[in-house]
Chains A and B, each alone.
Chain A
Amino acid sequence: MTRLCDMARVLRSKNSGPFEVTLDILLPDEASYLRVLHSGLLTKENVAALYHVPESWICTLATMDAAYGIKITMLRSISSGTVGDRDVYGAQQIAPLMNLMIP
């Protein structure tokens, strides 16, 4: 078992427009990319549970083989930069994924 944080080359969050936050997981090579994909842990259901949001808020879960990358995009409960928002750029929302243990 390895923490996702220790496997990934890039593990980040960022706004994709002011109403969504997108999570990027970029792995260093094909082997680690396939290992994460085949773990079956990165499902909409699991990500929704980790972020305490309804599954319907996860609008995209997609991969790009050429980049060894996985992308998850979810709705924001409050849009960027208005009353109640805590992270205008959405750049500090990756922590719940970091400790995911990959077999």
Chain B
Amino acid sequence: MVTTILSPCGILGYGFPEASLQKAMAQKPDAIIVDAGSTDAGPHKLGAGVAIVSRQAAGIDLKRLMTAAREAGIPLIIGSAGGSGARKHTLWTMDIIEDIAHEMNWQARVAVIYADIPIDAVRRARDEGRIEKMSPNVPDLTDEALAQTHGIVAQMGVEPILRALKEKPDIIVCGRAYDPAPFAAFGILRGHDPALCQHLGKILECGALCAEPGTTKDVMLGRLDDTGFEVWPADDSRRCTLTSVAAHTFYEKDHPTMLHGPGVRLDLSQCRFTQVSEGRIRVTGSRMLDTPYTIKLEGARLAAYRTFVLAGIRDPLLIACMDEVEREVVRSVDAYYGGLPAEVQINFYHYGKDAVMGSLEPTPVAGHEIGLMFEVIASTQEMANAVCASVRSTYLHYGYPGRKSTAGNLAFPFAPSDVPFGPVYAFSVYHLMHVDDPLAFFPMEIKEVGV
């Protein structure tokens, strides 16, 4: 028994070459599976309920994948719909699919799996000691933090996706899912070793990133058999090598040979990687270890509002004393408001000196020009705007000792100079929850869409 899976790209909406898709489809895959999720872009997508990619980009990719899947008569599975995989993101994806199905004159059967976790269930699990932090620096799950959190999602494992696959839908749209889970579920459904399925899923969820040259924007193929799996890129200009495939589990994971997921502890330390042909690598020896069943919870809360300014400094006299000038600017603005509220923050970032690494910067030395960004953080946008305007005008005209460039201290690239940013979010929930039933929090609906 062999099972071939096509992964078009690392995130649905990132795009992939049409020629690669056609080449891959000619190899008769049994399913097209694509991950759409990530927390890379920070807590804003989950908190504000917006997608990672544009509706246009998701639509372009979905139309091509729906067309290919329909022509071949194979299922299309989408993981972590809309990026964050909350109900809002899942419905956004469904809406796009529905439009395309109409356009294609296709009545498609779609299984939708939601991944929203009721706050009450999380609070109860916390009180029963079934919650643990993902790392020690994750904030405590207090009642206050839960009340402020804009909805919680959890990464589903393979079980809810297997349940959906058994309904034989044309398309499965998963809410938030463990990235490898949609791939692994399909392999498991077909009777393959779950450890191999999980490892293959981990590789395929990034598109062609495990090839050389690596990219998330090209098509990869994976084929499971009775004793291992093989991976290869669809496009001839890329190839998988022993080290590129072995090294792939390094990417954005905390450990190179031990992967954790819902009901998954995958040990890759005994894996063997062999080259079967040019650009094609065979993997054996992935092992699954026993582990309690946990699901990873993700939630974001609104932390504050921000207004920021970008400006250049080219005056060496000011560059030499800008830290002192900024202390005086803050002191002056604080006095003007008769003492700013404690939650107001005024932060300066000096690009060209230490803006990227802050206190971690090994060489905090300024060059002849500084890219200055300053931000005001406050509890309302109005307050952030007001204080930022005061900081900007005070900085612009501040007369520091020895100043010669007396017409203004800052070169603004834009008018207006002040940019109201809107809300800033923070991950308030990033915890594991122990569950007895892997299906319990992931309800499924079957929908007929299109004509």
Q: Which residues of A contact B (CB under 8 A)?
A: 9-10, 14-20, 22, 24, 26, 50-53, 59-60, 62-64, 66-69, 71, 73, 75-77, 79-89, 92-93, 95-96
Contacts and interface: CB of A to CB of B under 8 A. Distances in A.
B396 to A, nearest CB: 24
Contact of B247 (A67, A80, A89, A95): A67
Contacts, number: 144
A4 to B, nearest CB: 14
Given A60-B254, A64-B249, A81 B360 contact: no
Contacts of B249: 64, 67
A80 to B, nearest CB: 5
Interface stretch (B164-172, B310-318, B349-357): B349-357
27 contacts: A15-B252, A16-B252, A17-B135, A17-B430, A18-B430, A19-B135, A22-B250, A22-B254, A24-B247, A26-B247, A52-B360, A64-B249, A67-B243, A68-B247, A69-B250, A75-B136, A76-B137, A79-B43, A79-B426, A79-B430, A80-B43, A80-B427, A83-B377, A83-B426, A84-B347, A95-B362, A96-B360
A82 B271 CA distance: 38
Contacts of B256: 62-64, 67, 69, 71
Interface of B: 39-44, 134-138, 242-243, 246-247, 249-257, 268-269, 271, 273, 303-304, 306, 345, 347, 349, 355-360, 362, 377, 424-427, 430
Contacts of A63: 256
Contacts of B362: 50, 95-96
B138 A19 contact: yes
Nearest to A70: B256
Contacts of B255: 60, 62, 71, 73
A65 to B, nearest CB: 9
Nearest to A88: B42
B357 A95 contact: yes
B39 A19 contact: no
A64 B426 contact: no
Contacts of A50: 362
Given A67-B250, A67-B256, A95-B362, A19 B137 contact: yes
Given A71-B250, A86-B349, A96-B362, A15 B135 contact: no
